[in-house]
Structure 1
Amino acid sequence: MPQFQLVKKTTYQPTAPEITDAEGAAMARAVVNLFRRWEITDGQASVLLGGLSARTWARWKVGEVGRIPRDLKSRLSNLMGIHKALRIIFTEADRSYSWVKKPNDVFGGSSALEIMLGGELTDVMRVRRYLDAVRCG
């Protein structure tokens, strides 16, 4: 008869570090500035931030960032990744900010903003993955 050995339960170890509340708040403040540079409307901001309410967005714009759920932290992280990649790819800041609204053959003639306004986290991630690939050669 085979012998079985009990395996001790281990605690879950995420492969990526958890985004802290302080990091989430910092990213939220940065996204407010980024969206200003991208010339994003309040309605577009709501979509890009996963349906963030107009009231919460208004609070963010005056620096009042409350608790940010994990999914929203992920959106913020991807938006910051897009910004970082653009700043690396383009040496001129204005080009990096305007790129988001320019038609792009990679996206079938749509702009990156149009892709991201699909509203899903995967839409934002699609743009980030593309830029990361360009940035890394």
Structure 2
Amino acid sequence: MSSSKREAPPLHLTRAEQVALVRTSVALMGHWGLSEEDARRALGGIGLDVMTAWRRGIPQGLTAQSSFRLAKLLQIHAWLKVQSADPARSASWMQRPNRLFDDHRPVDLTFGETENGIDRLLSYLRSASSPW
């Protein structure tokens, strides 16, 4: 995988889908117990003004690239739900340093400018959940 940013293909979301995506993504950051700063980093390094808008359901600054990033964060949440139905356990796992990730917290992998860490985390969760 390259560490450079890949340009996302066009994404055709309705306004209602954009609103749902930003609201759900911001709520997920709270579910994971992230600080304001860490939440903004996980959401793509967004500024405080964008975070405030997203909390209000205003998809300010939402691009195809950021939409794909948010969708991947929601996939992480979905794969964690496959592992355990207990929300506290999922949030705890995201916050706990893990040897598989060089003693970083899994959530730390979401902080990069590129999505390589997110992809690594998703790959792990998919393989850990696979019955074969």
Question: What TM-score range do you get, normalising by the shorter chain?
Answer: 0.7 to 0.9
Q: 1:41 aligns with which of 35, 46, 57?
A: 35
Q: Find the partner of 1:90 among 71, 78, 84.
A: 84
Which residue is 1:51 aligned to? 45
Counterpart position of 1:62:
56
Aligned match of 1:73 in 49, 67, 73?
A: 67
Deviation at 1:111, TM superposition (A): 1.0
Uncovered stretches (5+) of structure 1, i.e. residues with no partner? 1-15
Please name the residue that 2:119 is paired with.
Answer: 125
Deviations 1:27-58 (A, max 9, x none): 21111111111121222122212221210101
Specify the code of the residue in structure 1 equivalent to 2:35.
T
Query: C-alpha displacement at 1:127, in angstroms?
Result: 0.9
Give 2:4's aligned residue: none
What residue number does 1:116 align with? Answer: 110
| Higher Rg | 1
Structure 2 residue 28 is matched with structure 1 residue 28: no
State the partner residue of 1:8.
none
Matched residue count: 122
AA aligned opposite 1:86: L
Q: For the residues of structure 2 that align with 1:89 and 1:57, how far apart are their CA atoms?
A: 29
Counterpart residue identity of residue 61, structure 1: R
For residue 18 of structure 1, report the CA deviation from its aligned partner: 4.1
Q: Pick which of 42-51 and 99-108 moved more.
A: 42-51
Equivalent pair of 1:38/1:100 in contact (CA under 8 Å): yes
Query: Partner of 1:12 in structure 2?
Result: none
